[in-house]
């Protein structure tokens, strides 16, 4: 079965971009545009990996801290995709930090290395 | 860091992990850190330790950072308060500047930015101390003068001093117990008029009664110097932020305070510079992030176009094109706004007939308005005289107003409401008024008050918060004025007045 990735970003163009890249590579996707919505989608879809923008109406790290407390979600790997510099340590357990703008292959490689 | 500056910092943040990380980093920098979990605890700890610097998160449950800032500034206006803000808190950030926050840094916190903010806070404290030392010297001179019997040599001292006082770039004035001005130096008279015999609150503040925390009164009753930060209004209506230092002048027996001298230093230039620096810092932070987002948007569009074409998926290609088009527009606007803000501009003013300018403006905006299904109506006639303006800048300024009128109509989702934007132009008391009326959603008072502020935007990621700020700047630089009337649910009228040049 195809692995599922949840894309969290408040810019619809970027959601479209990342989901298109991932779908073209054979992944399933779901998406959310802020931290609160992300939590709802997470419960419903239980994705295998999350890409997370940090600066959103309901701040990214806050969403992360919220779900990372739940034992059933805490092991879902997260990739930070952000336009902020100096964010390397915002989410310590992130498998990678991708800076906007990024190369599609760069992101795909990280996803592939993480969930296959 | 200089020894004289107490190196205690009060840190208020509701998130335990943020607090821990910050405390460790600050301790590494040599500070003593006191932590508070919320606003109330911060107030209590502040009272106990009176730290010179406070770092506070803006969003906290209960008492938020803004309220804490206000409280601290009321307890000790000289405390340097640095605000910590998450993305999307820009309005709060601007509000905090209005309450006189020293600086603010964005989350996630980059240590460099934090160190810079702390350095700025320490610099401010040092400068203020130097200033106090300097006024204290003045005070010493003054008591020397009033304490001794007048002798020959004192005459020269007195006149030297008078010359110094006369030409200091400070507003210096002398008061009797009734708060009437006995004497003032020329800098004071230049800015507030010849005020001898009048009350200070009338002359400097346009008030009918004494201010609550009047430092002159305090000095009369306590016989001690007082300092006070406040705002004066000059004779031509400009607001000046000033630091007031009041000194008692004793009678010959040194028993009671006979007069009080007030030395007010104009902080406006300092704070203008600081505002500019702060907003530049703010701008680089928020815009570089915005631009990266837009560049990624472009990538998104290009990817959809390319993969759409490869897969012969017309829908996807179309979507991609649309994204590229939108993003390029936005990018262009952001870049132009930045260029405008970052550069000192020189206007190339030329004389243009009002009618011709109004026609040009209409041509530019008409298509844009109609493309959103909004009607456009012109209401002006021939022969309205001429304007001396930089046409390009003025058109840009007015386009920004139209952009907002268009958004106000688009955001109005009520069915069966035909939207219309009207440009009416007419002469009024030697000026030309351009009134732009829309029947969109309108604005509440809060929005109307903030709409010209730098980085205020109601349009989320679509707005840069620069447009109307720039509009007002262009108009004011032309000696003009912009006024706004708005009713939520009914619409908005923006009136721009520009000085005319003859008929």
CA distances from B221 to B214, B224, B248, B253, B255 (A): 11, 8, 10, 17, 12
- pLDDT recorded at residue B328: 80
Of the candidates B107, B110, B300, the beta carbon closest to that of A17 is on B300
DSSP letter for each residue of B334-357: HHHHHHHHHS------EEEEHHHH
Q: Do A101 and B298 touch (CB under 8 A)?
A: yes
pLDDT at position A32 is 92
Tokens for B308, please give them.
Answer: 């759409």
Could you tell me the CA-to-CA distances from B243 to A16, B71, B74, B165, B206 in Å, in that order?
Answer: 54, 20, 15, 17, 18
Backbone φ, ψ for residue B458 (5° rounding): -100, 5
Q: Roughly how many angstroms between the first and final C-alpha of chain A, as a whole number?
A: 12
Q: What pLDDT was estimated at residue B242?
A: 83
Contact A11 B296 (CB under 8 A): yes
Among A10, A90, A99, the residue with its CB nearest the CB of B108 is A90
Instruction: Name the residue facing A13 among B17, B289, B327 (closest C-beta).
Output: B327
**In chain A, where the domains are located:** 4-115
Contact A11/B at CB under 8 A: yes
What pLDDT score does B244 carry?
84
Of the candidates B49, B55, B6, which has an alpha carbon nearest to the alpha carbon of residue B31? B6
Give the angle B331-B336-B340 at the CA atoms, nearest 5°. Answer: 150
Mean of all residue pLDDT scores within chain B: 80
* Least confident span in B158-162, B304-308, B344-348: B158-162
Please provide the average confidence, as pLDDT, over all residues in chain A. 86
Q: Which of A20, A57, A102 comes nearest B304 by C-beta? A: A20
CB B104 within 8 A of CB B96: yes
Cis peptide, bond prior to residue B108, ω within 30 of zero: yes
Give the Cα separation of A8 and B319 in Å (integer). 20
pLDDT of B139:
63
> Taking each helix axis from N to C terminus, what angle separates B65-75 and B90-98, rounded to the nearest 10 degrees?
10
- pLDDT, tens digit, for every residue of A9-34? 888 888 999 999 999 999 999 999 88
| pLDDT computed for residue B359 by the predictor | 92
Residues of chain B in contact with residue A101, where contact means CB-CB under 8 angstroms, are 292, 295-296, 298-299
- Provide the percentage of residues in chain A whose pLDDT is more than 90: 42
- Looking at per-residue confidence, does B451 or B488 come out higher? B488
User: A57 contacts in B (CB within 8 Å)?
Assistant: 88
On chain A, the residues whose CB falls within 8 A of the CB of B289 are: 55, 83-84
Task: Give the CA angle between residues B332, B333, B337 to the nearest 5°.
Answer: 120
pLDDT in tens, B201-237: 888 888 888 888 888 988 888 888 777 788 888 888 7
In this structure, of B166-170, B191-195, B235-239, B363-367, the range with the lowest mean pLDDT score is B166-170
Q: Report yes or no: B294 and B334 within 8 Å, Cβ to Cβ.
A: yes
Which residues of B sit within 8 Å Cβ distance of A? 17, 86-88, 106-108, 110, 112-113, 288-293, 295-301, 303-304, 307, 316, 319, 323, 326-327, 461
List Cβ neighbours of B17 (8 Å cut-off, separation of 6 or more): A65
Please report the DSSP string for B451-481 in residue order. TTSTT--SSGGG--S-HHHHHHHHHHHTT-E
Q: How confident is the model at residue B339 (pLDDT cuts 50, 70, 90)?
A: low
Check pLDDT > 50 for residue B3. no
CB contact under 8 A, B327 and A24: no
Size of interface A-B (CB pairs under 8 A): 83
Cβ neighbours of A65 in B, within 8 Å: 17
Q: In this complex, do B293 and A83 lie within 8 Å of one another by their Cβ atoms?
A: yes
B436 backbone dihedrals φ, ψ, rounded to 5°:
-115, 115
Q: Does A23 touch chain B (CB under 8 A)?
A: no
Order across the sheet with B431-438: list the strands: B375-379, B420-428, B431-438, B491-499, B481-487
CATH fold for the domain made of A4-115 = Rossmann fold (3.40.50)
Q: Which chain A residue shows the shortest CA-CA distance from B311? A: A24
Which DSSP symbol is given to B77? Answer: T
Q: How far is A43 from chain B (nearest CA, A)?
A: 24
In the predicted structure, residue B143 carries a pLDDT above the cut 70: no
Q: Does A61 touch chain B (CB under 8 A)?
A: yes
Distance CA B280, CA B338 (A): 10
pLDDT tens digits, one per residue of B67-111: 899 889 888 888 889 988 765 556 676 677 777 788 878 777 777
Top residue of B21, B61, B87 to mutate, by most chain A CBs within 10 Å, is: B87
**Nearest-angstrom CA–CA distance, A116 and A23:** 14
Beta bridge partners of B175: B181, B260
* CA nearest neighbour of A88 among B155, B360, B222, B109: B109
Q: Does position A109 have pLDDT exceeding 60, yes or no?
A: yes
ipTM of the modeled complex: 0.77
pLDDT surpasses 90 at B314: no
DSSP letter at B225 equals -
| Residues facing B493 on adjacent strands | B437, B485
pLDDT grade for B377, boundaries at 50, 70 and 90: very high
């Amino acid at each position: 079965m195809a692995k599922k990735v949840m894309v969290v970003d408040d810019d619809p163009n970027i959601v479209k971009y990342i989901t298109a890249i991932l779908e073209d590579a054979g992944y399933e996707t779901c998406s959310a545009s802020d931290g609160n919505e992300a939590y709802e989608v997470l419960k419903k879809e239980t994705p295998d990996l999350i890409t997370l923008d940090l600066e959103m109406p309901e701040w990214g790290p806050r969403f992360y801290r919220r779900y990372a407390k739940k034992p059933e979600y805490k092991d879902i790997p997260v990739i930070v995709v952000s336009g902020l510099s100096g964010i390397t340590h915002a989410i310590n357990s992130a498998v990678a930090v991708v800076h906007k703008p990024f190369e599609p292959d760069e992101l795909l490689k990280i996803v592939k290395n993480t969930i296959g | 860091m200089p020894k004289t500056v107490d190196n205690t910092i009060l840190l208020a943040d509701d998130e335990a992990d943020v607090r821990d990380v910050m405390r460790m980093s600050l301790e590494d920098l040599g500070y003593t850190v006191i932590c508070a979990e919320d606003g109330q605890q911060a107030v209590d700890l502040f009272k106990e330790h009176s730290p010179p610097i406070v770092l506070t998160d803006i969003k906290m449950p209960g008492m938020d950072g803004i309220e804490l800032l206000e409280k601290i500034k009321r307890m000790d206006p000289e405390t340097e308060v640095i605000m910590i803000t998450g993305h999307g808190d820009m309005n709060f950030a601007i509000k905090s500047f209005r309450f006189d926050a020293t600086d603010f840094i964005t989350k996630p916190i980059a240590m460099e930015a934090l160190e810079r903010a702390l350095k700025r806070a320490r610099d401010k404290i040092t400068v203020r101390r130097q200033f106090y030392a300097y006024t204290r010297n003045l005070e010493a001179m003054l008591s020397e003068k009033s304490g001794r019997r007048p002798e020959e040599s004192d005459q020269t001292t007195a006149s030297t001093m008078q010359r110094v006082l006369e030409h200091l770039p400070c507003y210096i004035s002398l008061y009797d117990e009734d708060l009437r001005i006995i004497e003032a130096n020329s800098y004071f008279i230049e800015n507030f008029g010849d005020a001898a015999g009048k009350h200070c609150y009338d002359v400097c503040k346009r008030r009918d009664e004494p201010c609550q925390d009047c430092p002159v009164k305090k000095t009369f009753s306590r016989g001690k110097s007082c300092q006070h930060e406040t705002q004066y209004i000059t004779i031509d209506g400009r607001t000046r932020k000033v630091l007031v230092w009041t000194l008692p002048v004793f009678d010959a027996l040194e028993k009671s305070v006979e007069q009080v001298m007030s030395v007010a230093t104009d902080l406006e230039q300092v704070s203008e510079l600081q505002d500019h620096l702060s907003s530049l810092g703010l701008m680089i932070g928020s815009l570089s992030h915005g631009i990266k987002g837009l560049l990624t948007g472009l990538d998104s569009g290009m990817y959809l176009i390319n993969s759409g074409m490869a897969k012969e998926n017309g829908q996807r290609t179309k979507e991609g094109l649309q994204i590229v088009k939108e993003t390029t527009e936005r990018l262009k606007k952001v870049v132009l706004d930045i260029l405008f803000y970052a550069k000192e501009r020189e206007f190339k003013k030329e004389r243009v007939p009002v009618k011709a300018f109004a026609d040009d403006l209409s041509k530019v905006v008409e298509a844009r308005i109609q493309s959103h299904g909004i009607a456009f109506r012109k209401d002006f006639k021939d022969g309205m005289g001429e304007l001396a303006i930089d046409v390009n800048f003025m058109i840009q300024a007015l386009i920004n107003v139209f952009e907002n009128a268009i958004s106000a109509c688009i955001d109005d989702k009520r069915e069966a409401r035909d939207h219309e934007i009207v440009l009416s132009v007419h002469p009024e008391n030697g000026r030309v008024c351009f009134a732009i009326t829309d029947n969109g959603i309108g604005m509440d008072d809060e929005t109307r008050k903030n709409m010209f502020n730098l980085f205020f935007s109601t349009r989320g990621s679509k707005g840069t918060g620069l447009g109307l700020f720039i509009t007002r700047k262009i108009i004011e630089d032309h000696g003009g004025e912009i006024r706004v009337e708005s009713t939520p649910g009914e619409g908005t009228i923006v009136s721009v007045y520009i000085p005319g040049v003859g008929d």
